[in-house]
Chain A
Amino acid sequence: AQSVSQHNHHVILSEAASLELGCNYSYGGTVNLFWYVQYPGQHLQLLLKYFSGDPLVKGIKGFEAEFIKSKFSFNLRKPSVQWSDTAEYFCAVNPNNAGNMLTFGGGTRLMVKP
């Protein structure tokens, strides 16, 4: 069965630090990839998505992610985090031959210290 791994469960950074959150998936075929964010007390929101084309995708709020097919990875990055980025981040995968059900990773809780 396909799975999605987010190895960092908790990350604590100071403001202006750079961020990279890892996401690896176990599926050999073509996939659609997503990062969602859940701010405290709010619902899941789409940060960015990859369907095809340029493997470096840019999302909202200065976030970007790079799809590396050979590594089955879709890591999320931001050059300089802000206190308002404190949230839980979820990576999700949808194999192209599996309808459009999403398989989520366990999430990474990010705390940014002011």
Chain B
Amino acid sequence: DAGVTQSPTHLIKTRGQQVTLRCSPKSGHDTVSWYQQALGQGPQFIFQYYEEEERQRGNFPDRFSGHQFPNYSSELNVNALLLGDSALYLCASSLANLYQETQYFGPGTRLLVL
């Protein structure tokens, strides 16, 4: 039973560039959430996708956007990268069930913006 997978594992970009991160949910899951974990801090919720729509969004600017595909996999896009976007980006998947959902996390993509 495959868990949550993310690609790439590491990425280096320069300020102003755009980046796309990818996530495949755990088998049987239909909901994908994205989190940003800055160094030394806890993860912060970016947004969540369910049925190919953004279901919830945290306090992140519009430079952060996403997409969910019919096979439930998801992408996180960040435009106009800033130095402060350097972080570990975590994807979590769950099965939608009246909000009593448990989220399972992937290994993350470490993004460095120079």
Cβ contact within 8 Å between A101 and B42: no
Cβ contact within 8 Å between B102 and A101: no
Q: How far is the CA of A42 from the CA of B107 in the complex (A)?
A: 7
Cβ contact within 8 Å between A102 and B105: no
How far does the Cβ of B36 sit from chain A's closest Cβ, in whole Å? 11
**Of A44, A49, A98, A105, which is within 8 A of B105 by CB?**
A44
Q: How far is the CA of A46 from the CA of B94 in the complex (A)?
A: 12
Q: Does chain B have a CB within 8 A of A83?
A: no
Q: How far is the CA of A22 from the CA of B78 in the complex (A)?
A: 35
- The A-contacting residues of B in range 77-114, CB under 8 angstroms, are 90, 92, 94, 99-108
Q: Does chain B have a CB within 8 A of A43?
A: yes
Q: A100-B99, A104-B44 are in contact. Are A36 and B105 (CB under 8 A)?
A: yes
Cβ contact within 8 Å between A100 and B42: no
Max chain B Cβ within 10 angstroms of own Cβ: one of A34, A43, A45 = A43
Cβ contact within 8 Å between A100 and B108: no
Contact residues in B for A94 (Cβ distance below 8 Å): 99
Interface residues on A, range: 20 to 34
Cβ contact within 8 Å between B56 and A104: no
Q: How far is the CA of A69 from the CA of B27 in the complex (A)?
A: 35
Q: Does chain A have a CB within 8 A of B68?
A: no
How far does the Cβ of B54 sit from chain A's closest Cβ, in whole Å? 11
Cβ contact within 8 Å between A90 and B42: yes
Q: How far is the CA of A103 from the CA of B56 in the complex (A)?
A: 13
Cβ contact within 8 Å between B44 and A99: no
Q: Does chain A have a CB within 8 A of B55?
A: yes
How far does the Cβ of A50 sit from chain B's closest Cβ, in whole Å? 11
Cβ contact within 8 Å between A43 and B105: yes
Q: How far is the CA of A54 from the CA of B96 in the complex (A)?
A: 24
Contact residues in B for A4 (Cβ distance below 8 Å): 42
